[in-house]
Structure 1
Amino acid sequence: MGVDCGFDIYPSISPQCQGLYEAFLEEVIQEYKDALHPNTGEPLIQIIGTPETKNAYVFFNVGEGPVLPYRSEYFLRFESKLVSRDNVMPYLKEVYLIARRHFPDNVHFWAAGTSPALIRLLHKIPDIREEEGAVRKDHEYIYKTLREMRRLVKED
């Protein structure tokens, strides 16, 4: 089972906000471009695909490998299971805080499998959702979109 944490984008960001989304993505990339995984020494992030065509995503080499797509309309959720081998929470929190600066009304941090109040207390996550579980309930759509993003990257 385990504990899942992350944040949802709801309502979704429209393609008309691509410029603002690119500023968010650039801030995240600048924050982590030289960062190394604390256990393996490998780069913390990788850009997979071709950013120029927007058929790409930023892969975080920590936890379950959360991703940030280059297309704003594919940015629905940033999440990972909390795993013992990696402390993924600092990355979930920092990307959440960056996203909040760019999209304050669309970003909602959540926790599933534990008390959100405990996560807020331990990790000092501001404005975490009080109810346990994700904000978005369209899980199948989220995972279908993620699969589509990965398919486009492979075809590019």
Structure 2
Amino acid sequence: MGFDCGFDIFPALEPTEENKRAYRAFLNEIIAKYQDTYDKEGRRDDGKVLELPGDPQAKWPHPHSIRFMVGECPSVPANPNHCGYFLRFSSKVSGRLTRCAGPYILSICDIARRYFGHKVHFWHELNESGAEWQCGGCYDWNEVHDMGKELEALTDGKTTSIQYEELRDQH
């Protein structure tokens, strides 16, 4: 049990050239900010927060996502061509193992707002006032999980075209 918070991208990004450029800039900013960040409350033994596709030290390798190793390990698609699969960034933020995720979610939400503006909708399950989406998001969990499965099937376990070294060395 516990409660989640996060943000949704609604409506979903269309994979237009403009959105792909914005998404690449979004990823670049995330990587620049967090590639050398360590958090003793994170999920990795070494405390490293960000796992990139192809990372040889990855605790749970994900060939298609950039994963934050805090809370429930929220992730974003690593390839700008897959920007339309980015629906939600969230985690439980209550309890000993997940409370450290909250500040990261807020930070990534702020970064996302710079690139995607009004499409970014922050939500928190403890929000008891306002619109229904403000306490549970714009999508239901089945939609979010189905989109994740589609992305995984699309990449079929292959490392995304944006490799770990390429992502890491850009910054």
* TM > 0.5 fold call: yes
Number of corresponding residues: 140
C-alpha displacement of 1:85? 2.3
Per the alignment, do residues 141 and 115 of structure 1 end up closer, same or farther by CA in structure 2, a change over 3 Å counting? closer
Unaligned runs of 5+ in 2: 56-62, 160-171
- 3-state DSSP of counterpart to 1:15: coil
Alpha-carbon contact 2:49-2:69 (below 8 Å) kept? yes
Per the alignment, do residues 21 and 41 of structure 1 end up closer, same or farther by CA in structure 2, a change over 3 Å counting? same
Deviation per CA, 1:84-128: give whole Å up to 9, x if none. Answer: 22411110000000000111110010011x2367xxxxxxxxxxx
Q: Which amino acid in the other structure matches residue 122 of structure 2?
A: F
Per the alignment, do residues 11 and 49 of structure 1 end up closer, same or farther by CA in structure 2, a change over 3 Å counting? farther
Counterpart of 1:84?
Answer: 96
Alpha-carbon contact 1:58-1:68 (below 8 Å) kept? yes
Counterpart of 1:63?
Answer: 71
Q: 2:53 aligns with which of 48, 56, 69?
A: 48
Q: Which amino acid in the other structure matches residue 101 of structure 1?
A: R
Is 1:99 the counterpart of 2:101? The answer is no
Distance 1:108 1:116 in 2: 16
C-alpha displacement of 1:56? 2.1
Alpha-carbon contact 2:23-2:83 (below 8 Å) kept? yes
The answer to which structure has the higher strand fraction is 1
Higher alpha-carbon deviation: 32-41 or 133-142: 133-142
RMSD of aligned alpha carbons: 2.2
C-alpha displacement of 1:2? 1.2
Counterpart of 1:20?
Answer: 22
Unaligned runs of 5+ in 1: 118-128
Is 1:140 the counterpart of 2:153? The answer is no
Deviation per CA, 1:10-42: give whole Å up to 9, x if none. Answer: 011110011111101110111100001223433
TM-score when normalising by structure 1? 0.79
Aligned residues with identical type, % of pairs: 33
- 3-state DSSP of counterpart to 2:67: strand
C-alpha displacement of 1:148? 2.6
Per the alignment, do residues 135 and 115 of structure 1 end up closer, same or farther by CA in structure 2, a change over 3 Å counting? closer
